Structure 1
Amino acid sequence: MSICRGVEWLPHCVGDLSALTDLWVCRDAERARLPDSVGDLVTLTTLQISGRLCTLPASIGNLYALTKLFIVDCDWLTALPATIGNLKSLSRLHLASCAMTGLPACLSQLEALTKLSIVLLSELKSLPPRLGDLAALTELTISQCDALTALPSSLGSQRSLRKLFLEELPITTLPDSIGGLAALTSLEVHTCRAFSRLPHGVGELRALTRLSLVECGLTALPGALCRLSALVHLDVFSPLLTALPTRLCDLRALTRLNLWRCEDLVALPDSICDLQSLRVLDVGCCRTLKRLPARMGELTALSGLGVHGCAWLLDGAPDAIRAAASDLPLLRALVRVTEAGPCADALALAKSMSIRGGMEWLPHCVGDLSALTDLDLSDAERARLPDSIGDLVTLTTLQISGCGRLRTLPASIGSLHALTQLFIEDCDELTALPSTIGNLKSLTSLDLASCAMTGLPARLIQLEALTELSIVSLSELKSLPPRLGDLAALTELTLSQCDVLTALPGSLGSLRSLRKLFLEELPIKTLPTSIGGLAALTSLDVHACHNFSRLPHGVSELRAARTPVSNACLAVLPARLGDLRALTRLDLSMCDELVALPDSICDLQSLRVLDVGCCRTLKRLPARMGELTALSALGVHGCEWLLDGAPDSVRAAASNFNPYAEDW
């Protein structure tokens, strides 16, 4: 059951839903309250809560079958009930964006808890002292808790913990007991700028394979770090780091050492040359580093060396080291999945590549990846795409996201004739798509989100295989291609949060294959009169379009529509609404300007659910409402006067209405 859209209470009878396993109280239900009877949901396994809840009922501790609890964006929720410790089946707890200053001590009694995530609790000052009693915990994430200055010493008692992720915390170190985490394989401390000391106990983490210390205030690493015999991956991005431990050579399993932007690092220890398993070394932007150790040529496994921003390190270096710094080995280091493993022609067999963070360029020789089918370029803020990307003739999926300084895409992208899915998201400086995008004849899905585009190329309409088009948060987008209706294969169109898109093209009605049209947070006032031409349309949703005041008469031609417009600020409905013979559900809730329902609504013989809740300017129901023989549910919350003088069948439909029923 999902509860959204302005609900101010959850009725006490919710406890009678004896078979309910999943309950979501969404953020849109800002003022929703949970009744004590929620504790009667003995079969509930998943509970997700978001909104302006002030308290949770103590009866929540009676949900003995609950395995997952998510509490998110509850800005007024300052505490969890002490009874939460009774949730003996709970395996996952996620707390985010709440006002809690502390967590109940009984949290340590959650004996089945394996995953605990605490994010954006900006008022949280401490964790339960006996947090270490969570014996089953395998993953712990603590992020963006601005007042949490220390972690409890009992942390080291969590013998099952495998992953510990700490981000944007004002902590200065870890508890000395950290060495007790015998099962820990991954320790990540990111953007904790006050973090200045790694305790010696870290050397006892004999199962640790990954250690990532990113944007911290470390000036040195303890010598005990060199006892991490299983360590495979070490990331240290610390601008204040001046030196590395001299016994670094003891890290015999280390394959990747990333020292990116260690700007005060003046030298690498000579012992680094004894790391015979080391395949990738990145000292990019270590600008005070004067030279590489003389014995660097002895690193026989080294296939990738990053020296971006300090190319002088290659002066006088042996040929093997220079080769390791070339583009091709860099690609080898980036390939995520190959069929051949680490062999000479692994690149030729690579199927998938994921490039995340830190990259400032994609090498030209990316075009040599002749078998590549999937390319994911994410969070590489300064990345640029070379023209050779068009040589990836087998590429089927391309995802570009979080590339904040990507301003253009190469025209050669139009040569990706096998491409079926293209995702471009969070590219804040990308203002246009190349016109060659129209050459992507195999493209079936195009997703554009959070970019700076003011328009889309006219040749977009040449994407003859396109079935799904999603355009979200293009706040500068002023118009769509006039001939958008030429996309003959399009079945789903989503337009959301485009703040200056004031109208849709008249050709929209020519999309004969379109089945789903979703419009959200647009400044449009109406739909094109051609809307009636959407012969295949089964779902039309208009959400939070606050200027939307008129539904064109053409909507009555949507003979296949089963779920038409909902949650729009309509003042008038088409007189021929009754022509929608297949209509089973009509949601007009919160249409504050709607003054009357057309009499033809009574001709909707398939209509089962009608919601006119909170339509406070609606004076009466049509006189023929009793003719709606299929009507089984009528929502009139906030305007109960509509039932005055209504026939018994209509009153019965109002008593049956359940706003939370997912099948309505």
Structure 2
Amino acid sequence: MASFMCDLMSTRLLVLLPLFLAIATNCFSSMQPLCHDDDSSALLQFKESFDMNLNACRGPFAYPKIATWKQEGVDRDCCSWDGVECDEDTGHVIGLDLSSSCLYGSMVSNSLFRLVHLQRLNLAYNNFNFSQIPSGFSLLSRLTYLNLSYSSFSGQIPSNFSKLSKLSTLDLSKLPLLAQPESVVQSNLHLKSLKSLVQNLTSLKVLCLNFVQISSPVPEILSNLSSLTTLQLIGCGLHGEFPVGIFKLPKLQELKVWQTSFSGKLPASMANLTQLSYLDMSYTQLTGQIPSWLANMTQLTVLYLSFNKLQGPLPNSIFELEKLETLHLYSNNLSGIVAMDMFHKLKYLTSLVLSLNHISFITKTNSNATQNKFKVLGLGSCNLSHFPDFLRNQNQLQWLDLSYNNIHGQIPIWVWNTSKETLKFVNFSHNYLTGFDQHQDNFPWPQLLVLDLSSNKIQESLRIPPPSMKIYSVANNMLQGEISPSICNLSSLYSLDLSNNQFSGILPHCLSNLSCSLNILNLRANKFHGMIPQLCAKGSTLKMIDLSQNQFEGVLPRSLSNCRMLEVLNLGSNELNDVFPSWLGTLPELRVLSLQQNGFYGVVGSPTSFFASPKLGIVDLSVNKFTGKETLYQKIREAFAFVDLSSNEFNGTIPEFIGNLNGFQLLNLSNNNLTGHIPISFGNMSTLESLDLSQNKLSGQIPMQLTQLTFLASFNVSHNQLTGPIPQSTQFNTFDSSSFGGNLGLCGNPLSKKCENPEPPPLPTASIEEDQDSWFHIEFDWKIILLGYCSGIINGVVVGNIVTKKKQHWFVRARKRQHKRERRQLC
């Protein structure tokens, strides 16, 4: 009986237990404090000050978190709102995570700053419309975590950020310029003094300021942040000596300092960073060999030393980093023999890039060894003579670079099965490939984004890539046949380069279907003929069109006026026959126009609105049938840098005011019917680097003022009617007799004819300051999917192919000076 009663009581307790638990839970919940009205009101006002814009959604998991915030109903407690964290005891809002929340609008004096109990704030990956970071953040004195990264802020970072003395994490990183939309590429985030920012932030563990423009040296005070675990100063333009004390911080785990002023050898003090797991010192001008003490960094998982000047062989110390997952040594001067078997010890290695060195890579592997499963593999310029056999076993590759090798013959069938479902980037350019060892029209990689087969010897018809393709280049091959209309199905295509092949036929009329995604279209140097089709639909995103060196005929399609973003138009060396296309002057972004060597005729620039195009700086109208007198010169603007009007039918004199257009770097008026004197004012064109007035009927003396043009690298006044002594100066002494020949009245060096009065008139006092970095003021703000990948297309086509052989010497020198300046200015 007693046993029965005990069982009965136990059964009743089991039945009642859920009820007791529900009551207890309800009581416990009722003890939790609700969100304070002040905090709730501040959050709702914050919500109302922004739009929820899908175009502002950044990141794969972005969604509008504030959409569920409500003032009334069961969800009125702000502590239950998405992204909001409250203190369990006080109910005050202490955490706010609105990262990737699709917020759009300007961040001004905001109700957010009334949340004075806030300790953690994350507003990363939104779009604050390039507003300035408000100084009101300093009111949140309890903040320990602040993340405003990649949210489109601009302007000066407030100096009062230094008052947030409790911060342990500060991330103000921004997108690099080339990754920003073109309309906002000039919006930058600035910091006057890194020292002033961090001097009071003694508790910092994480500091990220990537691509923030910092106009100060790297402060020694960073070495005093003993708690620092992460330091990211990528692309900040910092100058001065990099404090080696940073390499002694005992807790440092992540260091990214590429594009800083650091140079020389890797300091031995780095051997103390035994906790370091991530090291990126790319673009820092490092020299010497990779040191053996690298083996001390036993926790290292990621090592980036690309784009430096490191030399010598790969040291054994690298192969002792057993936790290494990523090793990128791209573009150095490393040498020696490297065998695939050497990497088997690094069993976690999934990303290896050795491209653009002087390494000889031995691909043969030990069949019994455990094979690395790569996601990223770069073996460009590694003296490969065939496709590495170990690729057969790779099924996770996403990025594969075998460019600049000596691989001959056809691409074997088994390569097409390599990582068939994962490959996104393939670069087989600059080899000796002749074709594809399979018979199909399409490529097998459905996820492919970038395919570069340029500079090979492929002799087939054009294969159509998968619809996912963004960048497709087969330039510099021997491909032939017509372009299939199926190429118009590549609705995501960003860059298409078919230049320097043997394609023929008429272009598909459906190409305009691509114009709302395509930025670069390069069909130069083929055998296309017929009329140029309607390339630009309304809303076109095309920035560069190069159809030069083909056999196109007829008139220009007026649909080009729909290319409102067009920056470069090269139609040179065709058979076009039309009046001057003055309607191109409506294109607001046009910077480069080449119509040279066609059958264009009539008066240039009528109406005059064409030459009012605000950004036009390079114009090549040479070898046509244009006519006109001084009225043409009236339309040439000061902003022009490159003007070639050679081989036309222009006549009359060159007006003096041309010399006041001091933006010129190249001026070519050769092979016309120009008369009169060379203007003395040409001596004022201080940036001029190439001047060609040959094959005209100019008379008088060569002005002595031209000796003031200290950058003049190419000069030609041959075959005119000039007389008198050739000016003598350091610059003029570099020009040979071919620059002056065909002028019976000229005398003096470098001609053999001596002057009767060898004493030239005194040289006017030069008032022109030298500028070793003078060149075009034109900048091409391309939006590149993979940063820098398309730069070869732009540099090689935008200007390089407009420049004829007689100008190339000048052009190469000018490009070198510009490149040095760009490297200094890059942020």
TM-score of the aligned structures, taking structure 2 as reference length? 0.39
Bigger radius of gyration: 2
* TM-score w.r.t. length of structure 1: 0.47
